[in-house]
Copies of this chain bind each other. A is one copy, B any other.
C-alpha cells in the first residue's frame, strides 16, 4: 500500500555523475541489489549519517573515508545492512571498497560504502565483489531510475526528485533518489538518499547546506520512530556547472535543494510500511523549534492517533491527549488550538464550539491530512510528516525479518 500516485520524474543527466547497477544475489538471486555511483574528479561530496549508537559498519567506513579524501565512488548494496556485525563488519566493508578500487584503479579510501537490509548477518563480500564488473560496465549518466530501483528493500515504489534552478551563472540541476519504508525516524539522515548537482560548491559549505536542508526534510519524517542503524544521505556537487555566489543565488539554490530533499523524504512517508494516509503535522506558536518538533513527533508517534488515522476516525481526544503528554513544561491548555484540515477541533481546553462530527469525518476521509497545532506560547514552528498505523504495518513487520 502507498499513498498518492506513483510518479518517478524524468531525470536530466548531471555531467560526470554515472550510475551502474547489477544483480549480485546478495540476499536473493535475480534482484537488482548493487549500485555504483561514479563521482567526477574535483567534485565536492557531503554526507550526513545516522546517530544510532549501533551504527552499521559501512557508516563507520564511509564517514572515515570521507574524512580522508575526496570520494570517487559510492558503493551501495541492499539485502544486507552489515550492521551489528562488530569488527568483522568493518573489515568486510573495507574489502568491498578495495575490490571496487582495484577495478577502477583508485585508492580504496576514495570509495564510500552503503548497505541496507537484514541486520546482523555477515556481508557476502564475494558476491558483491563478483557483481562489481557488471555494475561498472553499466555506468552511464542516464541510469538514475535504475539506481533508484537498485537501492529498494521493502519499498514498494522507486523514489526520485529533480529540479532545475536558474542562477546568475547559469542553470543548476539537482537530482536525488532515496529509499526507505520502515525503521524510519531518521536522525541526521534518511535510510539512504543520494543527491547530486552540477554546481561548484566547496566541501565545507556543501556539508553545512546539506545538514540544514536535512534537518527540515529527512529529519522531519517518521514512520515508526525507529531510527535505523544505516541512515545516510550523500550530496555531490560536481563543480562542472555554475559557482554559487552568496546572496540571492545561494538562497535560490538552497531553497531548491531543500525542495528536492523534502520531496524524497515525503516519498518515504507515502511509501511507509502499511501507509494508507499521508499526514502533515504543523506545530506553531511554540517557544522554540525543538519544542515544536517534540510536540509534532509525540503526536506522530502516538499509536492511538495513528490507528485513528487508519480508521479515518476524527478522534480528536487522542490528538489532545498526545499533545498533553508531549515534553513541554507548563503548557497552558486553554491557549492550545488544534485544527484538522480546515476544521477547528480544540480550543479553550476542550472541543471547539463549532465542531461537528460530520465536519471532522469529512477531513479524515481524505488520503492526505494536515493536523495544525497552535501552542500559544511563542513564535517558533516545525513541520513533521508521518503515516498511519495499519494492519498491513503489523503484517509486514511480523512477517519480514529485517
- Which residues of chain B are near A317, meaning CB under 8 Å? 81, 83-84, 118-120, 229, 402
The answer on a CB contact under 8 Å between B229 and A324 is yes
The answer on a CB contact under 8 Å between B313 and A401 is yes
- Which residues of chain B are near A52, meaning CB under 8 Å? 321, 324-325
- Which residues of chain B are near A313, meaning CB under 8 Å? 398, 401
> Quick one: which of A310-354 are within 8 Å of B by CB?
310-311, 313, 315-318, 320-326, 328, 331, 333, 336, 346, 348-351
**Complex formed: what's the CA distance from A228 to B318 in Å?**
9
- The proximity string for A residues 138-180 relative to B, scoring 1 for CB distances below 8 Å and 0 otherwise, is 0000000000000000000000000000000000000000000
CB-CB nearest in chain B for A348: B86
The answer on a CB contact under 8 Å between B325 and A227 is yes
Q: Quick one: given A118-B317, A182-B304, A304-B397, are A325 and B86 in contact (CB under 8 Å)? A: no
CB-CB nearest in chain B for A312: B398
- A394 at interface by CB-CB < 8 Å: yes
CB-CB nearest in chain B for A392: B394
CB-CB nearest in chain B for A228: B321
The answer on a CB contact under 8 Å between A226 and B325 is yes
The answer on a CB contact under 8 Å between A304 and B183 is yes
Partner of A226, one of B81, B226, B322: B322
- Nearest Cβ on chain B to A324's Cβ, whole angstroms: 3
The answer on a CB contact under 8 Å between A84 and B328 is no
- Nearest Cβ on chain B to A212's Cβ, whole angstroms: 22
Q: Quick one: given A87-B349, A304-B182, A351-B84, are A321 and B397 in contact (CB under 8 Å)? A: no
- Which residues of chain B are near A308, meaning CB under 8 Å? 397-398
- A53 at interface by CB-CB < 8 Å: yes
- A193 at interface by CB-CB < 8 Å: no
- Which residues of chain B are near A83, meaning CB under 8 Å? 317, 320-321
Q: Quick one: given A226-B325, A324-B54, are A391 and B397 in contact (CB under 8 Å)? A: no
**Complex formed: what's the CA distance from A336 to B52 in Å?**
14
- A33 at interface by CB-CB < 8 Å: no
Q: Top 4 closest A-B pairs, CB basis?
A: A119-B317, A54-B324, A86-B350, A307-B397
List chain A positions with a Cβ less than 8 A from chain B.
51-55, 81, 83-89, 118-120, 182-183, 185, 187, 224-229, 301-304, 307-308, 310-311, 313, 315-318, 320-326, 328, 331, 333, 336, 346, 348-351, 389-391, 393-395, 397-399, 401-402
List 6 additional A-B contacts (Cβ < 8 Å) besides A226-B303, A304-B397, A307-B398.
Answer: A84-B350, A85-B350, A225-B303, A226-B322, A315-B402, A390-B398
